[in-house]
Amino acid sequence: MEEMMQFLRTRRTYRRFEQRPVDHAIAAEILEAARIASCGANRQTLKYVLVESPAMVAKMQPLVHWAAYLPPEQGCPAPDETPVLFIAVCQDESLPGANDTDAGLALGSMTAAAWAHGVGSCIMGAIDRPAIQSLLGLGDCLRLHSVVAFGYPTHTSRVVPMEDGSVKYFLDEDRNYCVPKRPMEEVLLKTL
């Protein structure tokens, strides 16, 4: 159990990466984790696009936006720190029952499956949807929900106590991420 909690503590958002590829077998496992995720009424409305060729990964880079709480020179990966893999998460609107909870569960499973291999990730909602939709050739029935960036991180990220109620993550002196989380006394409303 302690191992699981350590896994969950360190399965954070990562935004700077080594420039070495993530094996296709690991990408396939990440997608398998998404495929079998729980979903409302088992309707399975989510579809995925795996972007792993260096040329396509490079075309995705300018279409995603990093770390809104940080100045770009701190939050945006430099050209030699960019992710090496993207997965686009789409809702197939030709199927009934698409919902954000299902997408969240799939995203959680994907990022956990990646982290089990030491692959860090960043779930990205601030994305240029029309441009990505067109780049990936997504048809009208596919609504781009989010994109996940992956790679082997070159920094650490740790949960820190929240100070002054600020939710803003920040970098420490070694450029590692510090992510404030609300204390348990605040989030656990009652124990009955």
Ligand X SMILES: Cc1cc2nc3c(=O)[nH]c(=O)nc-3n(C[C@H](O)[C@H](O)[C@H](O)COP(=O)(O)O)c2cc1C
Closest separation between CB of residue 95 and ligand X, Å? Answer: 22
Rule CB under 6 A: is residue 82 a binding residue for ligand X?
no
Contacts with ligand X in 163-182 (CB under 6 A)? 169, 179
Beta-sheet strands, E only, within 15-166 = 46-51, 85-92, 120-124, 142-151, 157-161
Q: How far is the CB of 87 from ligand X (least distance, A)?
A: 14
Report d(CA 46, CA 48) in Å as an integer. 7
User: Which residue, 56 or 123, has its beta carbon nearer to ligand X?
Assistant: 123
Is the CB of 86 or the CB of 169 nearer to ligand X? 169
Determine if 105 is a binding residue for ligand X (CB under 6 A). Answer: no
Helix axes 2-10, 100-115, angle to 10 degrees: 110
By the rule CB under 6 A, 133 interacts with ligand X: no
CA atoms within 13 A on the CB side of 95: 16
Q: Which is nearer to ligand X, 130 or 139 (CB)?
A: 130
Query: With binding defined as CB under 6 A, does residue 126 bind ligand X?
Result: yes
Instruction: Give the CA distances from residue 192 to residues 137, 186, 188, 189, in Å, rounded to whole numbers and listed in that order.
Output: 51, 16, 11, 10
Compute the least distance from the CB of residue 156 to ligand X, in Å: 11
Residue with tokens 């989030």: 187
Segment 58 to 77, residues that bind ligand X, using CB under 6 A = 65-67
Cβ neighbour number for residue 181 with a 10 Å cutoff? 12
Q: Assess 16 for contact with ligand X (CB under 6 A).
A: no
Pick the closer one to ligand X by CB: 124 or 132: 124
SS3 of residue 175 by DSSP = coil
Q: Which residues contact ligand X (rule: CB under 6 A)?
A: 12-13, 15, 65-67, 122-126, 157, 169, 179
